[in-house]
Structure 1
Amino acid sequence: MTFRTGLVVGKFCPLHLGHELVIRHAARHCSDVVVISYTKPEFPGCEPPRRERWLRERFPEADVLVLDDARLAAHCTARGLPVRTLPDNTAPDEMHREFVAWLCTALLGRTVDAVFTSESYGDGFAATLARRFGHPVQHVCVDRARHEIPVSGTTVRADVGRHRALLAPSVYADFVPRAAFLGGESSGKSTLAGRFGAVAGNACVPEFGREWWHRRGGEFGFDDMLHIARTQVGMEHERVAQTSGWLACDTTPLTTLFYSLDLFGRADPELERLARRPYDAVFLCAPDFAFVQDGTRREPAFRLQQHAWYVCQLHERGVPYVELAGTIEERLAVVLATTGRIA
């Protein structure tokens, strides 16, 4: 290792491969790496919890600090410090440098030996840190000319779908809008999800529960419920890379929760949490199709029971949804209009 502690600071809105290059370079040359992220104002889709999750998932060994004014105030209060606010993005460079030095000493209780950037301001940044810390701080510039990874946050934010190759899959996943299709048995849900998924730029995640039911010979155990929900969510993550538009999700863990309660009268706590997974648009298919018994379904009355349960749950959870009725074409037109407005 070249340095004891390295520092990387950025907005990371979003975290792209250029940022990752700098952080990985720091990790290779330092025993410890501190990563600080803040921006004022915030950028849509890059809120602090997301940025923190991206950084912790991609760099689990780093000491990560992601701030907004509320988070900063909480840190100050917890340490008995006067409450401060973030400097605005347009504030002078020296104000940001002094602020980061204060974050290191007051909030993190440490100093650094090197600061890693891909920008020209790094030398001045290192000089300010050295003056505040009372020991040398070296600036290490990484790919300033962007030869290795030609990217900028502004470019990516302008069209995330077009530049998704410059984001890790787990980061890009947060920018793909997901449409959930719910409904009782024989309500046209799977057909509609598939049709929407066939629209240019979209992809469809099929219902894993049905596939697993066939694999299990038509028998479910309690543990199968959590496995189904986990796999359904995992398939969503896998299909994200296949779309530059919406991701059509044929059922969600909420469906698995219904079957767990119906079959076993209880649900695993993790399944309960997965059932609260948010979606950008939720469509509930009305039970107004002629009921078709394909050998796997229960009686028509069960379909009505499912529909009523979905309505109740969505209302109780405060989840906005659109109820779809009529033919597949009529329903698809509503879905396209709704997702078009959201996009």
Structure 2
Amino acid sequence: MAPDKIFRHGLIVGKFAPFHKGHQYLIDRALKDCGQLTVLVYANPDFGAMPQAVRAAWIKALYPDITVLQPLDPPVDTADDFTHRDYVRHYLLDKRIEIDAVFTSEDYGDGFANHLGVTHRSVDRQRLAVPASGTQIRADVHAHHHLLDPAVYRHFIQKIVLMGAESTGKSTLAKHLAETFQTVHVPEYGRELWEQKKGQLELADYVQIAQEHQRREDEALKAARRFLFIDTNAITTLALSYYYNGGALPELHAIARNCISRYHRWLVCADDIPFEQDGWRDTEILRTKMQRMILYDLTERGIRFDYVEGSLAQRIATVRRLLDGPLA
């Protein structure tokens, strides 16, 4: 054990739902006093919106040098104190984990440590250093996002992708939705590269479009609040690759498949607005054909989507209803 450490091996147990800055304060304090630190993450029932594996991954990503474990079949949260304490005691024995200190910010800390036969270190019990609680944050995670590390908060941002053929109003709607919901949007990268190459794209260019577009999505999450609106994705890029180049590379197919689980909500912009020829687009006939291709592809992949149509104001109103509704 390092000479500046008080304890050889410390333990922290919690739900971490979500993992907030109060938890980080507790871990940081434990790391100052312990040569080694183990964190147990569990809840029963688990949290559907942030399951145990996700919560453990947050901690491991922010603290790669500590041990993060996910006990299986823990007692229900409503079980008595003795049941929980004894479960942890037997878990540690089974895993041959020997600790000499428990760190908590809870009233149960003394009894828990006594049951394990180790020292208890109480940290910020009155929540003065970091006034945060999981219950408080779960009630409105977006209002309390400042209590979460950005890497954790990104989990709660809903990625809303806008689909549709060219000149169906995706770009305009994405921009205005970002303004309406006071967040950011991701413009279509494919259009940018199309103009740079004067419309002369090769199959590999479509892969680059899909990869760069997703990279920009990930980057935009850092500035988003509650929602991130995204203009187009790799499924549209795949359709364009086939239309203009007669095929697509396997890498593009793989990226398109991964889109199925990448977004929280899919919106398809209707082709009921006047076609706007800006010098780069094809024809209105292509728009109709491409729209059908996209709708067919989404249906074949089993992707549930909502249709938005009418004027810009009508479309924004539709999205407002959808995002404020029971599936929000």
Query: Shift of the alpha carbon at 1:221?
Result: 5.2
Q: Structure 1: where are the runs of 5+ without partners?
A: 73-84, 131-136
Q: Do the aligned residues in 1 keep the contact of 2:43 with 2:52 (CA within 8 Å)?
A: no
Percent of aligned pairs with the same residue? 36
Select the residue among 2, 5, 9 that pairs with 1:5. 9
The letter for the 2-side match of 1:313 is: D
Superposed, which structure 2 residues align to 1:186-201 within 5 Å? 186-201=167-182
Select the residue among 254, 260, 267 that pairs with 1:276. 260
User: Does the alignment pair 1:112 with 2:99?
Assistant: yes
d(CA) in 1 for partners of 2:59, 2:290: 40
Aligned to 2:288: 304
Superposed, which structure 2 residues align to 1:183-222 within 5 Å? 183-215=164-196, 218-220=199-201, 222=203
Aligned to 1:81: none
Aligned to 1:82: none
Relative to structure 1, the CA distance from residue 26 to residue 158 in structure 2 (aligned partners, 3 Å threshold; closer, same or farther) is: same
User: Does the alignment pair 1:180 with 2:161?
Assistant: yes
Aligned to 2:80: 92
User: Does the alignment pair 1:33 with 2:14?
Assistant: no
d(CA) in 2 for partners of 1:208, 1:220: 13
Query: Shift of the alpha carbon at 1:216?
Result: 5.2
Superposed, which structure 2 residues align to 1:221-232 within 5 Å? 222=203, 224-232=205-213
Aligned to 1:149: 130
Query: Over the residues paired in the alignment, what is the CA RMSD in angstroms?
Result: 2.6
d(CA) in 1 for partners of 2:63, 2:242: 38
Q: Secondary structure at the match of 2:70?
A: strand
d(CA) in 2 for partners of 1:35, 1:224: 45
d(CA) in 2 for partners of 1:259, 1:128: 64
Q: Structure 2: where are the runs of 5+ without partners?
A: none
The letter for the 2-side match of 1:315 is: T
Select the residue among 116, 141, 155 that pairs with 1:129. 116
Q: Secondary structure at the match of 2:31?
A: helix
Relative to structure 1, the CA distance from residue 308 to residue 102 in structure 2 (aligned partners, 3 Å threshold; closer, same or farther) is: farther
The letter for the 1-side match of 2:290 is: Q
Relative to structure 1, the CA distance from residue 180 to residue 9 in structure 2 (aligned partners, 3 Å threshold; closer, same or farther) is: same
> TM-score with structure 2 length normalisation?
0.85
Q: Do the aligned residues in 1 keep the contact of 2:195 with 2:280 (CA within 8 Å)?
A: no
Aligned to 1:318: 302
Relative to structure 1, the CA distance from residue 22 to residue 258 in structure 2 (aligned partners, 3 Å threshold; closer, same or farther) is: farther
Query: Shift of the alpha carbon at 1:243?
Result: 4.5
Relative to structure 1, the CA distance from residue 227 to residue 9 in structure 2 (aligned partners, 3 Å threshold; closer, same or farther) is: farther
d(CA) in 1 for partners of 2:89, 2:63: 22
Relative to structure 1, the CA distance from residue 208 to residue 52 in structure 2 (aligned partners, 3 Å threshold; closer, same or farther) is: farther
Number of equivalences = 320
Q: Do the aligned residues in 1 keep the contact of 2:238 with 2:248 (CA within 8 Å)?
A: no
C-alpha distance after superposition, 1:111-159 (max 9, x if no partner): 22322222232222222223xxxxxx33233222322211111111111
Q: Do the aligned residues in 2 keep the contact of 1:254 with 1:274 (CA within 8 Å)?
A: no
Relative to structure 1, the CA distance from residue 115 to residue 231 in structure 2 (aligned partners, 3 Å threshold; closer, same or farther) is: farther
Relative to structure 1, the CA distance from residue 229 to residue 277 in structure 2 (aligned partners, 3 Å threshold; closer, same or farther) is: farther
Q: Secondary structure at the match of 2:121?
A: strand
Aligned to 2:277: 293
